[in-house]
């Protein structure tokens, strides 16, 4: 099957197949991000989709398109996590065998969720592309149908149903920002939007650390990148699909990239301002918007938040680093005399400066600290960077020599 075999009829058929399975996710107007960017910003909450991402749409449509003979041989897929869960869920609904090859470093939460849907999970390779190679080898031996994560018209047709929903929920939408890794989501949404409303401006957004589709788009032909330099594992694809690329090249208006710091800040702002949890791949569209990667204002803008399956350890780091970056978390160390009441005196000085103590480490045996003295490390909750400076000034005035460290 080739790119020219994707049709609106296939997309409408996919919508019918998905009607009883996939959620029609909310399109939520965001006052916060509208005021911040000067646009009317609507968030398409695919992080609230069944299995936690949009991937169920394409995976289910593909599995349900299989005939009886193919179903008896089962399905196999390669995925960093979200597609894995979609295929596993679809296979369970169809009552067929499912094998998924995932990178060895895939988030434990995604591995467990995939197994929970009944799939056999094989961990192999350092990233998606290595997992893909093994999955293809196993598929050749077993005869199972390979359910590609992005380079299959049936899969792309399933993802394209998001485009139908966007136009039904916001008929006068002017700009749509879509995350991209291998390209299935962007290709499907762009195709559906352009076929129904050609004036809509479609913008693809990719992680700067793995910009394979971005470079392919700019160069006009498929590009492969080495390495996987982003925590947005869901879009860390080194070589995009030729089918998805052909559609993107034809129907996408613009392509931009965002770095990991920008992605992390978008995740944190969504969590704090909108109470929405997304993963790295799901946040790139909003990251591009709030960090001015595109040039437009005062237009109705839809941002696809493609998934919410973020590893809690990654989320914890993002929160801590984000708080530190904005001055709401600080770590200080200083030296006190090693006698009763000294620590209380220090903490009283901190309280007097209006900071809240999160944790204290008191070390009286650390090397290079004089006898009868102890080093104290403080983790503090502060208001902003200026407040941190005030705390340091206050401690210095009280006779301490505070040092900020990370």
pLDDT at 3: 63
∠ CA 253-254-260, nearest 5°, is: 150
| 306 part of the active site | yes
| 34 part of the active site | no
Mean of pLDDT values over 269-277 = 96
pLDDT class for 215, splitting at 50, 70, 90?
very high
| Torsion 340-343-344-346 (CA) sign | positive
Q: Catalytic pick from 55, 194, 293, 300?
A: 55
Average pLDDT, the chain: 94
Distance of CA 312 to the CA centre of its chain: 13
Mean of pLDDT values over 260-266 = 95
The three-class DSSP label of residue 132 is helix
Instruction: State pLDDT tens for residues 346-399.
Output: 999 999 999 999 999 999 888 888 888 999 999 999 999 999 999 999 999 999
**Burial letters 21-55, b for 16+ CB under 10 A, else e:** ebeebebeebeebeeebebbbbbbbbbbbbbbbbb
Distance, in Å, from the CA atom of 74 to the CA atom of 143, rounded to the nearest integer, reads 8
pLDDT at 1: 45
Distance, in Å, from the CA atom of 184 to the CA atom of 241, rounded to the nearest integer, reads 8
More confident residue, 4 or 194: 194
pLDDT class for 110, splitting at 50, 70, 90?
confident
H/E stretch holding 362 reads strand 356-363
Distance, in Å, from the CA atom of 339 to the CA atom of 240, rounded to the nearest integer, reads 64
Domains and CATH numbers, the chain: 3-54+152-321 (3.40.50.1100), 56-146 (3.40.50.1100), 327-405 (3.30.70.260)
Cα end-to-end span (Å), the chain: 53
- pTM, 2 dp: 0.89
């Amino acid at each position: 099957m080739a790119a020219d075999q994707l049709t609106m009829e296939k997309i409408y058929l996919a919508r019918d197949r998905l009607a009883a399975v996939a959620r029609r996710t909310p399109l939520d107007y965001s006052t916060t991000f509208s005021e911040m960017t000067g646009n009317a910003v609507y968030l398409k909450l695919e992080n609230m989709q069944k299995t936690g991402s949009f991937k169920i749409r394409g995976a289910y449509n593909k599995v349900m398109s299989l005939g009886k003979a193919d179903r008896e041989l089962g399905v196999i897929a390669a995925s960093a996590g979200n597609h894995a869960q979609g295929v596993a869920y679809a296979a369970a609904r169809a009552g067929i065998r499912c094998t998924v090859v995932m990178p060895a470093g895939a988030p434990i939460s995604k591995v467990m969720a995939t197994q929970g849907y009944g799939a056999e999970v094989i961990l192999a390779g350092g990233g998606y592309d290595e997992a893909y190679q093994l999955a293809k080898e196993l598929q050749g031996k077993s005869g199972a149908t390979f359910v590609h994560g992005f380079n299959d018209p049936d899969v792309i047709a399933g993802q394209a149903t998001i485009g139908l929903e966007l136009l039904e929920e916001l008929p006068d939408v002017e700009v749509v920002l879509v995350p991209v890794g291998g390209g299935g989501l962007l290709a499907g949404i762009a195709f559906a939007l352009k076929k129904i409303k050609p004036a809509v401006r479609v913008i693809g957004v990719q992680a700067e650390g793995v910009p394979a589709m971005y470079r392919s788009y700019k160069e006009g032909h498929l590009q492969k990148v080495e390495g996987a330099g982003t925590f947005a594992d869901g879009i860390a694809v080194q070589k995009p699909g030729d089918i998805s690329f052909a559609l993107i090249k034809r129907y996408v208006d613009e392509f931009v990239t965002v770095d990991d710091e920008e992605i992390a800040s978008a995740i944190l702002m969504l969590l704090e301002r909108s109470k929405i949890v997304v993963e790295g791949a799901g946040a790139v569209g909003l990251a591009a918007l709030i960090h001015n990667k595109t040039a437009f204002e005062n237009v109705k803008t839809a941002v696809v938040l493609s998934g919410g399956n973020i590893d809690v350890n990654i989320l914890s780091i993002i929160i801590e680093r984000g708080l530190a970056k904005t001055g709401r978390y600080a770590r200080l160390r200083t030296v006190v005399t090693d006698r009763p009441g000294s620590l209380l005196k220090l903490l009283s000085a901190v309280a007097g400066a209006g900071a809240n103590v999160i944790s204290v480490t008191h070390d009286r045996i650390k090397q290079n600290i004089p006898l009868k003295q102890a080093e104290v490390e403080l983790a503090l909750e502060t208001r902003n960077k200026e407040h941190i400076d005030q705390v340091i000034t206050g401690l210095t005035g009280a006779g301490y020599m505070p040092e900020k460290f990370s």
